[in-house]
């Protein structure tokens, strides 16, 4: 008996020495192979230069934060509130946390799950079932550490799934940055629209006041018989048109204020702005650079490429499924029939149960799973190329709008000057009896339209600058993360090859 105990003790001691080396070797071998195809970025599916690109003046959009680009203090406050309280952005942040947790779960699959176990068992065997013919009472106590079915990743299946989860996580963070840039642009455009409506309302109110005074004068003239009632009705028509326009603009401003409040996520006090929209006071000049720059500037393009890499890694996992799956199950601890002998000499117990599984027939499940992964990779390639093309179009449209709206603004300014002079001359001719009041009516109506159009074009030109800033990925490099409570977060999102990979 002593010899057996000594032999068992020596054997366990040897196992204790060898076991760490075996585990280290298995860990070194696990994940050393990957069956994912080599990743190669698709060729740029757009032209090398943007159309309608006249100059390269200004700063790069991606290197300019939104506080540097939008110089209006009130607009900066609105953007800051939206970044803190907007619910769409908050949902994007939560989706990042969701993807991060999913990656953590998949990453944990690379490592063994070790659990402590403790149990006791007492059994009573009746006399007619006992080998001795007498009732028997037995006890068993056990304490151990167990390794539950840990897959040794010889073919890189688990590693490929981990890489796919990592790329999806990083893609979700890029999507969060894209939502942030889009939100900044939406707030800026909404604010510019509000400023446009305030300026148009101010012009409409001046026109209404002027025409009310004209109505008072013509009413007095009709009373004294110095003019016809027809002229009075024409003046009344001008006033009614201006009043209708004012009411429409007030309604549009209320709707725009509600839209801006929704973007900001909090109740806003939005008093009317004063002064004219002036590009030099609100925005800085930009230079578009080259289309290839969008590959690193635009978060939506980076997210699409991350998704492509994730689909590529899924192919590796699908290929590895054709090879045997090796798993280890084991435990090491102590067991005894008596509780006080649980940790006595010779009570050690262990199990070691490796297994190899290779499906022989699955009705084409693995083959179809590989075909599915390859099809999804091809879809990801098409989506990546489409995202690049859409980004190229966004920049091209913004450049075209900037170029042609600038010309339209010059034309509108000249038209307003002409209409102002026409209205003055028409009124002068009417006062001298050389023309009917109908000429004055047409000139005043066209003058109001020209004033309103000039403000609209000026705002559209500013909006084209905002669209260009967003299309070029403006502020993408310094957009701060936002946590679920809306507070700013500076947590760094590691890259795919640092910190996150084991």
Q: DSSP letters along 454-477, please?
A: HHHHHHHHHHHHHHHHHHTTTTTT
At residue 216, the pLDDT reads: 92
Q: Where are the alpha helices (DSSP H) in 265-298?
A: 279-282, 294-297
At residue 12, the pLDDT reads: 39
pLDDT averaged over every residue in the chain: 83
Lowest mean pLDDT among 29-33, 90-94, 319-323, 396-400: 29-33
Lowest mean pLDDT among 210-224, 339-353, 368-382: 339-353
Paired tokens of 48: 């090398």
Average pLDDT over residues 227-251: 92
pLDDT tens-digit readout, 172-229: 999 999 999 999 999 999 999 999 999 999 999 999 999 999 899 889 989 888 888 8
- CA angle at residue 200 from 198 to 205, to 5 degrees? 95
Site of tokens 């599915």: 372
Under DSSP, the state recorded for 292 is G
At residue 32, the pLDDT reads: 52
The answer, yes or no, to whether residue 5 has pLDDT greater than 60, is: no
pLDDT tens-digit readout, 457-485: 999 999 999 999 999 988 765 554 444 33
At residue 479, the pLDDT reads: 55
The answer, yes or no, to whether residue 497 has pLDDT greater than 90, is: no
Q: Are 464 and 455 in contact (CB under 8 A)?
A: no
Average pLDDT over residues 300-319: 93
At residue 54, the pLDDT reads: 57
Q: Name, in order, each residue with C-beta under 8 angstroms of 260's C-beta and a sequence gap of 6 or more.
A: 78, 187, 190, 191, 194, 268, 270
Over the range 112-151, which residues count as b (16 or more CB within 10 Å of their CB) and which as e? beeeeeeeeeeeeeeeeeeeeeeeeeeeebbbbebbeebb
- The sheet with strand 325-336 has its strands ordered as 114-125, 136-152, 325-336, 348-357
At residue 476, the pLDDT reads: 63
At residue 440, the pLDDT reads: 86
At residue 477, the pLDDT reads: 58
Paired tokens of 39: 């990743």
Average pLDDT over residues 448-464: 94
Q: Where are the alpha helices (DSSP H) in 225-287?
A: 229-264, 279-282
At residue 501, the pLDDT reads: 37
Q: Note the pTM of the prediction, 2 decimals.
A: 0.81
């Amino acid at each position: 008996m002593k010899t057996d105990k000594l032999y068992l003790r020596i054997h366990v001691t040897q196992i204790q020495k060898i076991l760490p080396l075996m585990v280290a070797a298995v860990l070194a071998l696990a994940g050393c192979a990957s069956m994912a195809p080599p990743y190669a970025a698709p060729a740029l599916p757009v032209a090398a230069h943007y159309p309608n690109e006249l100059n390269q003046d200004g700063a790069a959009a991606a290197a300019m934060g939104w506080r540097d680009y939008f110089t209006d203090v009130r607009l900066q406050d609105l953007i800051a509130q939206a970044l803190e309280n907007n619910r769409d952005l908050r949902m994007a942040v939560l989706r990042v946390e969701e993807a991060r947790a999913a990656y953590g779960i998949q990453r944990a699959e690379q490592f063994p799950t070790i659990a402590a176990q403790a149990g006791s068992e007492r059994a009573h065997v009746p006399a007619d079932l006992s080998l001795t013919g007498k009732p028997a009472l037995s006890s068993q106590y056990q304490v151990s550490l167990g390794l539950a079915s840990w897959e040794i990743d010889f073919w890189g299946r688990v590693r490929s799934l981990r890489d796919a989860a990592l790329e999806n996580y990083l893609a979700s963070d890029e999507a969060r940055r894209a939502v942030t840039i889009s939100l900044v642009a939406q707030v800026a455009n909404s604010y510019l629209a509000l400023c446009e409506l305030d300026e148009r309302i101010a012009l409409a109110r001046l026109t209404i006041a002027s025409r009310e005074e004209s109505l008072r004068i013509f009413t007095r003239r009709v009373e004294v018989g110095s003019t016809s009632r027809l002229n009075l009705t024409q003046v009344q028509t001008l006033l009614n048109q201006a009043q209708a326009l004012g009411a429409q603009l007030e309604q549009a401003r209320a709707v725009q204020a509600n839209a801006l409040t929704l973007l900001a996520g909090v109740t806003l006090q939005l008093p009317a702005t004063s002064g004219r929209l002036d590009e030099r006071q609100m925005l800085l000049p930009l230079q578009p650079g080259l289309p290839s720059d969008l590959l690193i500037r635009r978060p939506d393009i980076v997210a699409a490429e991350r998704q492509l890499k994730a689909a590529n890694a899924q192919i590796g996992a699908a290929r590895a499924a054709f090879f045997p799956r090796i798993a280890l199950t084991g435990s090491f601890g102590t067991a005894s029939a008596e509780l006080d002998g649980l940790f006595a000499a010779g009570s050690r117990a262990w199990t070691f149960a490796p297994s190899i599984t290779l499906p022989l027939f699955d009705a084409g499940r693995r083959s179809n799973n590989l075909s599915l992964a390859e099809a999804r990779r091809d879809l990801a390639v098409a989506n990546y190329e489409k995202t690049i093309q859409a980004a190229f179009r966004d920049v091209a449209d913004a450049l075209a709008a900037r170029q042609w709206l600038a010309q339209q603004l010059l034309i509108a300014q000249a038209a307003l000057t002409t209409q102002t002079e026409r209205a003055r001359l028409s009124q002068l001719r009417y006062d001298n009896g050389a023309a009917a009041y109908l000429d004055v009516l047409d000139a005043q109506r066209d003058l109001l339209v020209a004033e309103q159009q000039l403000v609209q074009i000026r705002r559209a030109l500013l909006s084209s600058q905002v669209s260009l800033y967003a299309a070029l990925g403006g502020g993408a490099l310094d957009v701060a993360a936002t946590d679920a409570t809306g507070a700013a977060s500076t947590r760094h999102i590691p890259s795919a090859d640092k910190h996150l990979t084991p």
